């Protein structure tokens, strides 16, 4: 077997406060993620830091040169790259020699190798152009299995970024959303009055779910949330922007309504990573004793599942409601009930039975309300070993 000839690639990586802020490689590989050569150099730099040469900012190097060295540096630079550099060099020389030029009105000169200032936000390198091209390519393939799978991989990457608190998560999702909004099929479907395909609608659902995660992130600054709200309103004002379901008018969907006003509340307690097992973590800032994040999460889930709400129009929207309910219940089923959680279940079951028109298990339920059978079955099986009478009351109320 003949092996391929070895190729040498020139790789340059810029760092800023422990983050890779820019990469270049002569391999010409066009992808969203780093090429193998950039990864190899990064690993080599981590394992053998003394063998990879780090360069000072070019401004520092120039400061150390005398007049003769500076002239030699410039002339050699022009000689090596005369076809690319010479026109720019002549233009800059003319401007510097002109006393009234704009370049002489500014003190100092820019240095792209010096990095950002301490006040500037630093973030990991993201090739925005490649993200846009990839999403545009996947959408142009008609949303078939292969392209849909690739888009879901991109969504998974955004989720991973959000989990790691990488600021590129919101940037990447913004780029993806822009390409979704620019999809020519949206105009075609609107003109023809036809609905989008189920596979394509599922991609939009995932897009909306990720934006929900971003705007509800308690670690984000109010300025960021305000800018996202402005951008979401801008997208929502576009005629071809699909509605979340058939009941929405011109009001912005739940994405922007989810923006909290008090985003700085209780931030320091939210930084713990979720373990593999659900545990009670004390919630110090809440009034009642014995409350934890786990009990609060379970209680919020039970409140949401038990609310009386109108079933949306359209088969797809109805299936989406049922699917989301089943997913939430399956998450609750992963939690082992202890005495504290059983008290929460008892409290919520009694409240749902005795509450007024807002309860899905109340005495009066609207005929177009979302059915409570799946949720009631979960309540029944959870309460039966601990409070059989309450479990049967809940089940009989749901069967009426």
Tell me the C-alpha distance between 361 and 178, whole Å.
42
- Same domain, yes or no, for 80 and 139? no
Cα distances (angstroms) measured from residue 374 to each of 269, 320, 330, 360: 34, 14, 11, 12
The mean pLDDT value for 26-34 works out to 74
Tell me the C-alpha distance between 96 and 109, whole Å.
11
Q: Which residues contact 20 (CB under 8 A, 6 or more apart)?
A: 13, 14, 42, 124, 125
pLDDT exceeds 80 at position 261: no
Structure-derived torsion over alpha carbons of residues 87, 93, 96, 98, reported in degrees to the nearest 10: -90
Tell me the whole-structure pTM to 2 decimals: 0.57
Contact present, 369 and 360 (Cβ < 8 Å): yes
- Same domain, yes or no, for 233 and 331? no
- Same domain, yes or no, for 301 and 375? yes
pLDDT of residue 260: 42
pLDDT 10s digits, 125-153: 777 788 888 888 888 876 555 567 888 88
Please indicate, yes or no, if residue 1 is contained in any of the structural domains.
Answer: no
Cα 190 off chain centre by: 28
- Same domain, yes or no, for 40 and 75? no
Residue 61: other Cβ atoms inside 10 A: 13
Which is nearest to 375 in space by CA: 387, 361, 362, 393? 361
- Same domain, yes or no, for 278 and 394? yes
pLDDT of residue 250: 37
Please indicate, yes or no, if residue 103 is contained in any of the structural domains.
Answer: no
- Same domain, yes or no, for 208 and 133? yes
Place of tokens 């002489």: 104
Helix (H, G, I), strand (E, B) or coil at 12: strand
Task: Identify the band that residue 288 occupies on the pLDDT scale cut at 50, 70 and 90.
Answer: low
Please indicate, yes or no, if residue 110 is contained in any of the structural domains.
Answer: no
pLDDT of residue 284: 55
pLDDT exceeds 80 at position 375: yes
Contact present, 380 and 331 (Cβ < 8 Å): no
238: left (phi over 0), alpha (psi -120 to 50) or beta: beta
Percent above pLDDT 90 for the chain: 15
pLDDT exceeds 90 at position 382: yes
Cα 201 off chain centre by: 19
pLDDT of residue 254: 45
Task: Identify the band that residue 25 occupies on the pLDDT scale cut at 50, 70 and 90.
Answer: confident
pLDDT of residue 34: 79
pLDDT exceeds 90 at position 14: no
- Same domain, yes or no, for 181 and 218? yes
Tell me the C-alpha distance between 390 and 397, whole Å.
11
pLDDT exceeds 80 at position 183: yes
Domain count, the chain: 4
Tell me the C-alpha distance between 169 and 272, whole Å.
19
Please indicate, yes or no, if residue 263 is contained in any of the structural domains.
Answer: no
Better-predicted residue by pLDDT, 1 or 57: 57
Please indicate, yes or no, if residue 265 is contained in any of the structural domains.
Answer: no
- Same domain, yes or no, for 197 and 307? no
The mean pLDDT value for 302-324 works out to 83
Tell me the C-alpha distance between 114 and 16, whole Å.
9
Q: Residue 136 class from Cβ within 10 Å (0-12 exposed, 13-18 middle, 19+ buried)?
A: middle
pLDDT of residue 301: 92
Across the chain, mean pLDDT equals: 79
Please indicate, yes or no, if residue 267 is contained in any of the structural domains.
Answer: no
What tokens were used for 103?
Answer: 């370049």
According to DSSP, the residues that pair with 20 across neighbouring strands are 15
Task: Identify the band that residue 372 occupies on the pLDDT scale cut at 50, 70 and 90.
Answer: confident
Please indicate, yes or no, if residue 71 is contained in any of the structural domains.
Answer: yes
pLDDT 10s digits, 82-125: 788 888 888 888 888 888 888 888 887 877 777 666 556 666 77
pLDDT 10s digits, 50-84: 887 777 788 888 889 999 998 998 889 888 887 88
The mean pLDDT value for 264-288 works out to 50
Task: Identify the band that residue 15 occupies on the pLDDT scale cut at 50, 70 and 90.
Answer: confident
What tokens were used for 239?
Answer: 């005629």
Please indicate, yes or no, if residue 104 is contained in any of the structural domains.
Answer: no
The mean pLDDT value for 231-257 works out to 64
- Same domain, yes or no, for 249 and 314? no
What is the domain range of residue 292? 272-398
Q: Which residues contact 103 (CB under 8 A, 6 or more apart)?
A: 92, 95, 96
pLDDT of residue 258: 42
Task: Identify the band that residue 251 occupies on the pLDDT scale cut at 50, 70 and 90.
Answer: very low
Q: What is the DSSP secondary-structure string of 117-157? A: -TTS-------HHHHHHHHHHHHHTTT-HHHHHHHHHHHHH
């Amino acid at each position: 077997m003949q092996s391929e000839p070895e190729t040498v690639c020139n790789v340059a990586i810029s760092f800023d406060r422990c983050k890779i802020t820019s990469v270049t490689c002569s391999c010409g590989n066009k992808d969203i993620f780093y090429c193998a050569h950039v990864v190899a150099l990064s690993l080599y730099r981590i394992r053998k830091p003394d063998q990879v040469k780090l360069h000072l900012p070019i401004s520092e190097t120039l400061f150390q040169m005398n007049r003769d060295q500076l002239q030699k540096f410039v002339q050699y630079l022009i000689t090596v790259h005369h076809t690319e550099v010479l026109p720019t060099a002549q233009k800059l020389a003319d401007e510097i020699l002109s006393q009234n030029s704009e370049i002489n009105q500014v003190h100092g000169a820019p240095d792209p190798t010096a990095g950002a200032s301490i006040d500037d936000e630093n973030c990991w390198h993201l090739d925005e152009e490649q993200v846009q091209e990839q999403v545009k390519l996947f959408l142009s393939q008609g949303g078939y299995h292969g392209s849909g799978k690739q888009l879901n991989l991109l969504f998974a990457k955004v989720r991973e970024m959000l989990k790691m608190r990488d600021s590129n998560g919101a940037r990447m999702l913004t780029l993806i959303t822009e390409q979704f909004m620019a999809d020519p099929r949206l105009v075609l479907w609107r003109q023809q009055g036809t609905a989008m395909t189920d596979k394509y609608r599922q991609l939009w659902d995932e897009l909306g779910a990720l934006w929900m995660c971003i705007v509800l992130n308690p670690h984000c600054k109010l300025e960021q949330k305000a800018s996202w709200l402005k951008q979401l309103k801008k997208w929502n004002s576009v005629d071809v922007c699909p509605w979340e379901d058939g009941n929405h008018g011109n009001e912005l969907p739940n994405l922007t309504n989810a923006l909290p006003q008090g985003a700085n509340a209780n931030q320091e307690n939210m930084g713990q990573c979720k373990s593999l097992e659900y545990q009670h973590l004390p919630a110090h800032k809440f009034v009642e004793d014995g409350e934890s994040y786990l009990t609060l999460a379970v209680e919020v889930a039970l409140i949401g599942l038990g609310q009386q709400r109108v079933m949306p129009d359209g088969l797809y929207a109805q299936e989406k409601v049922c699917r989301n309910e089943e997913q939430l219940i399956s998450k609750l089923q992963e939690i082992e009930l202890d005495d504290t959680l059983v008290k929460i279940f008892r409290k919520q079951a009694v409240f749902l039975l005795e509450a007024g028109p807002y309860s899905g298990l109340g005495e009066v339920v609207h005929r177009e309300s979302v059915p409570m059978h799946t949720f009631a079955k979960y309540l029944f099986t959870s309460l039966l070993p601990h409070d059989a009478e309450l479990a049967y009351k809940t089940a009989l109320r749901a069967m009426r």
